[in-house]
Amino acid sequence: MRFEHVCVEALAATLPDQIVRSSDIEARLAPVYQRLRLPEGRLEMMTGIVERRFFPPGSMPGEISALTAEKALHKAAISREDVGVLVHGSVCRAYLEPATACGVHHRLKLPSQCLVYDVSNACLGLLDGVVQVANMIELGQVRAGLVVGTEDSRVVVENTIDRLNRDTTLSRDEVNRAFATLTLGSASAAILLVRRELSQYDNRLIGGIYRAETVHYHLCQSARDETIGGESRPLMWTDSEGLLRAGIATAKVAFPQFLHAVGWEASQIDRTFCHQVGRAHQRALFDALGLPISIDFPTVSFLGNTGAVALPVTAALGIEQGVVRPGDRVAWLGVGSGINVLALGICWGCVSPGIG
């Protein structure tokens, strides 16, 4: 896919105040560690995650998403009347219905002519929203659109700790399948896309690719929807090693297709922002793609895996810290359970008409 008229006008992030260290989680899992003789420090050692953050108990994703989207709108010089579509793309939602996007739309006081809906696709929901909004802008259906989401992992992590401690029949292998859940953190992100003539910055969305290898859909699954019956196992189980191998293999196949779609050489990529899973995943991904790891901007050590908002939160923080310069070719590389890959290329502040 290629775009000619779409710009990434603003990104915004909201981080929770409460910090929970990996050592704090392991201290609460002392009964399990002692029973199975698991070494202390394995959570941080295996993932590189020192800490993650949680929103206060009872927080509603839609309320936080509205605050984050407001930040993105504040950074841009466009009228709210120009926002023609709002997509809420995180795994966490306020209710099964109505769409969480409805509450966000109401709080932002966006126009009634704005298309409002939720998208759910594990860790790629917000990136899927970006593609959908970009297509609408490219077709001339809307002049601007917002993609936003909030992942609040407190409940699933708390429930997993509780169940691992209560169920003394769990084997080491079963505990390991719940391990990925303990890496989760909370955060919120928003992305504002506009038609190029509205842009102040000319951060051009060049294009990208998507690839699905759904033969691996079983490698990471949550519990069944509570409306059709719950389960007694932890709320999410993951074959972490299998998921890493399959995800990297899918990304390796997709990467040349991405370069062809955006018209770049790998050596021309100046900065990457990726889905944040763990230190081993980052190393394996960049080795497989043949990219220098120095061009990546990681946040996983202090945010953990924040699901569908991980990549845009990381991009927002990196931009705030000045790691992206005008004229940089920026790659957003998303890999989600399913397995799905979505990669997008952005020419940041296109100072030259021919760049990209």
pLDDT in tens, 37-49: 999 999 999 899 9
193 close to 89: Cβ distance less than 8 angstroms: no
The domains of the chain, with CATH numbers, are 204-347 (3.40.47.10)
What positions carry a catalytic annotation? 97, 123
What's the distance, CA 194 to chain centroid? Answer: 21
Give the pLDDT score at 224. 54
Q: Residues 44, 231, 223, CA angle at the centre, nearest 5°? A: 55
Closest by Cα among 172, 12, 125 to 133: 125
Low-confidence residues of the chain: pLDDT under 70: 219, 223-236, 351-356
Question: Sign of the CA dihedral 210, 302, 100, 68?
Answer: negative
Q: What is the pLDDT of residue 230?
A: 44
pTM: 0.93
At residue 246, the pLDDT reads 86
Q: How far is CA 250 from CA 102, 118, 169, in A?
A: 35, 26, 35
List, for residues 133-154, the tens digit of each pLDDT value.
Answer: 999 999 999 999 999 999 999 9
* Residues 250, 210 contacting (CB under 8 angstroms): no
Edge-to-edge strand list for the sheet holding 204-212: 115-118, 83-88, 144-151, 187-195, 6-14, 204-212, 340-347, 329-336, 271-274
CB 223 within 8 A of CB 181: no
Q: What is the predicted pLDDT for the residue at 48? A: 95
DSSP characters over 200-242: SS--EEEEEEEEE-GGGGGGEEEPPPGGG---SS-SEEE-HHH
Cα 100–Cα 216–Cα 228 angle in degrees, nearest 5: 45
The per-residue pLDDT for 95 is 85
How far, CA to CA in Å, does 315 sit from each of 5, 179, 271, 323? 21, 26, 10, 9
User: Is-cis flag, bond preceding 312, omega within 30?
Assistant: no
Q: Where are the beta strands (DSSP E) in the chain?
A: 6-14, 18-21, 51-54, 83-88, 115-118, 144-151, 187-195, 204-212, 220-222, 236-238, 271-274, 329-336, 340-347
Cα-to-chain-centroid distance, residue 60: 18
